[in-house]
């Protein structure tokens, strides 16, 4: 194995690591790479979407029915990483379909997860040297 391959392997490992860290705690992938401002913006934005979603009585999609669209929604929700599990553990995110803001709340919550996937991919790109 030559040195170039070793560097590539290390870079890839770092990129996967940053993707995982960035997914698990939104913005942390950037903060660890000294992109403090962006990291804080991503963390605050994701948290804000989740908190507003919960306050608006939105729900996390569940996998109970095994419906393909529900599964996609669940994958979107899962993008929030650590916060998804915390909200689930606290018993929030069950939603109230009678609330006027139910649909908006659900959209806020799934958007937080989807945006966080992009944030984590961005952190991986930075680790790979594709982005500044």
Closest CB to other proteins among residues 38, 59: 38
Residue 71 CB partners (closer than 8 Å, separation 6+): 61, 63
Distances (CA, A) of 49 to 35, 39, 43, 73: 21, 16, 10, 16
Residue 1: C-alpha distances to residues 5, 6, 11, 16, 86 (Å): 6, 7, 15, 21, 43
Q: Going residue by residue from 78 to 117, which x/- string records binding to other proteins, judged by CB under 8 A?
A: ---------------------xxx--x--xx--x---x--
Residue number with CB closer to other proteins (34 or 132):
132
Which residues, 6 or more positions from 79, have their beta carbon under 8 angstroms from its beta carbon? 23, 112, 113, 114, 115, 116, 117
Please identify, using beta-carbon distances, which residue of 86 and 118 lies nearer to other proteins.
Answer: 118
For residue 18, state whether it binds other proteins (rule: CB under 8 A): no
Show the tokens assigned to 63.
């996998």
Residues 47-76 touching other proteins, rule: CB under 8 A, are 48-49, 52, 55-57
Minimum distance of other proteins from residue 41's CB (angstroms): 5
- What residues make contact with other proteins under the rule CB under 8 A? 38, 41-42, 45-46, 48-49, 52, 55-57, 99-101, 104, 107-108, 111, 115, 118-119, 122, 131-132
């Amino acid at each position: 194995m030559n040195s170039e391959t070793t560097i590539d392997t290390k870079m890839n490992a770092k990129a996967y690591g940053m993707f995982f860290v960035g997914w698990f705690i939104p913005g942390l992938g950037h903060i660890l790479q000294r992109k403090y401002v962006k990291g804080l913006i991503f963390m605050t934005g994701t948290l804000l979407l989740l908190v507003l979603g919960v306050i608006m009585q939105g729900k996390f999609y569940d996998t109970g029915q095994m419906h393909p669209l529900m599964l996609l929604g669940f994958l979107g929700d899962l993008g929030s990483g650590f916060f998804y599990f915390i909200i689930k553990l606290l018993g929030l995110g069950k939603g109230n379909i009678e609330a006027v803001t139910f649909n908006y709340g659900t959209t806020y919550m799934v958007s937080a997860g989807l945006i966080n996937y992009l944030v984590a991919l961005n952190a991986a790109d930075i680790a790979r040297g594709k982005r500044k």
